[in-house]
Amino acid sequence: MSSMLGRKIKISVFGESHGAAIGVVIDSLPAGFEIDLDKVNFEMSRRAPGKSKLTTGRQEKDQYEIVSGFFEGKTTGTPLCSMIRNSDTRSGDYSLLKDIVRPGHADLTGKMRYLGANDYRGGGHFSGRLTAPIVFAGAVAKQILEKRGIHIGSHILSLAGVKDKEFDPINVNIDDIKNLKNMTLPLLDPTVEEKMKDEVLKARENLDSVGGIIETVVLNMPGGIGSPIFDSVESVIASGMFSVPAVKGVEFGRGFDIASMKGSEANDEYYLDNGEIKTYSNNNGGILGGITSGAPILFKVAIKPTPSISRPQRSVNVSTMEDTNLEIVGRHDPCILPRAAVVVEAVTALCILDLLAVEEV
């Protein structure tokens, strides 16, 4: 089983949802980088559950402990390890799941892959709880990138069919990115917030859940980073995104819409601006031939509805090999998008930092 990401800046995630602790080890960070822990704490708070009716009631403050690779406020150059103790667990809520697999979860595939030895409580190592240490790692990566002038931001492009407006593909405002981080629902058009909240609360009342799409931008990424074919920027970012539980699709620039465009419409034409080559459009999302063009990197990820719902569902008891019905109990997000944006940003930061480290930029 591999829980590692990256070629040079590598992270390894460990722990289970209802185990003693979860955490992350980050390898090959530069030595002597001063980490602003207040900024790390802010990023962690964006993902933390239990803050509103839009999220799960599980009360985890995601308080981390840095146990290695950090001395006198700076990275030492040795592996940076952070650990988060689990506190608000109710493992009894999952006693039925030892034998009855939940639709939409990794219960069945986990049993197949690990011969039934995996920790099933709360999804174990497959749980979205494991994104907390990823956010820690991403918060550190973001700070390193921001020192280089590279900024990452995300917003909820759609939720249960309610749509926000898209990022301007050429002129993304850095202040807008900073403002998004302070919103419960990060939106470019705040007038759709109440409609989205209503959809989430309606799903909760109906013992159901909803999903949506998150759009992300990387600003001030230098051109010429990445490689064609297997180590393309799209390959690296997409691989990282599909490491996030609930991500079921990734598209760059105009994505699937570009398939219905003509070449004359899809091509990003060039012009000179004070000796710098720029494009009139950004349909390719800032990447051509797997290599960054210098335009903003733009991509979207599709987030599926939370699979843990309280409605009765059909399933199978794998112990008796009989059909059965299942009603999931416990505390679950009716929609994970409000907490997922910071996770997508974290993985993006780790992928971008690794790409730069491989190129030694």
- CB within 8 Å of 193: residues ≥ 6 apart: 185, 187
Give the position of tokens 């409000």: 338
Find out whether 30 is annotated in a ligand binding site. no
Tell which residue, 353, 350, 235, 254, has the closest CA to residue 295: 254
DSSP string, 40-104: HHHHHHHH-S-SSTTS--------EEEEESEETTEE-SSPEEEEEE--S--GGGGGGGGTBPPTT
Find out whether 47 is annotated in a ligand binding site. yes
Find out whether 296 is annotated in a ligand binding site. no
Tokens of 345: 């940003």
Backbone angles phi, psi at 188, to 5 degrees: -80, -30
Could you tell me the sign of the dihedral formed by the alpha carbons of 162, 331, 108, 316, in that order? negative
Distance in Å from the first CA to the final CA of the chain: 32
Find out whether 178 is annotated in a ligand binding site. no
**Is 171 exposed, middle or buried, given 0-12, 13-18 or 19+ CB atoms closer than 10 A?**
exposed
Find out whether 58 is annotated in a ligand binding site. no
User: Other C-beta atoms within 10 Å of 45: how many?
Assistant: 13
* Amino acid identity, position 292: T
Could you tell me the sign of the dihedral formed by the alpha carbons of 165, 167, 170, 171, in that order? positive
Find out whether 184 is annotated in a ligand binding site. no
Please state, in angstroms and rounded to a whole number, the distance separating the CA atoms of residues 96 and 339: 27
Find out whether 339 is annotated in a ligand binding site. no
* Amino acid identity, position 138: G
Please state, in angstroms and rounded to a whole number, the distance separating the CA atoms of residues 120 and 200: 27
Strand partners, 216: 154, 299
Find out whether 304 is annotated in a ligand binding site. yes
CA distances for 59 relative to 50, 87, 105, angstroms: 5, 8, 22
Binding-site sequence positions for FMN:
125-127, 289, 304-308, 331
Binding-site sequence positions for NADP(+):
47, 53
Binding-site sequence positions:
47, 53, 125-127, 289, 304-308, 331
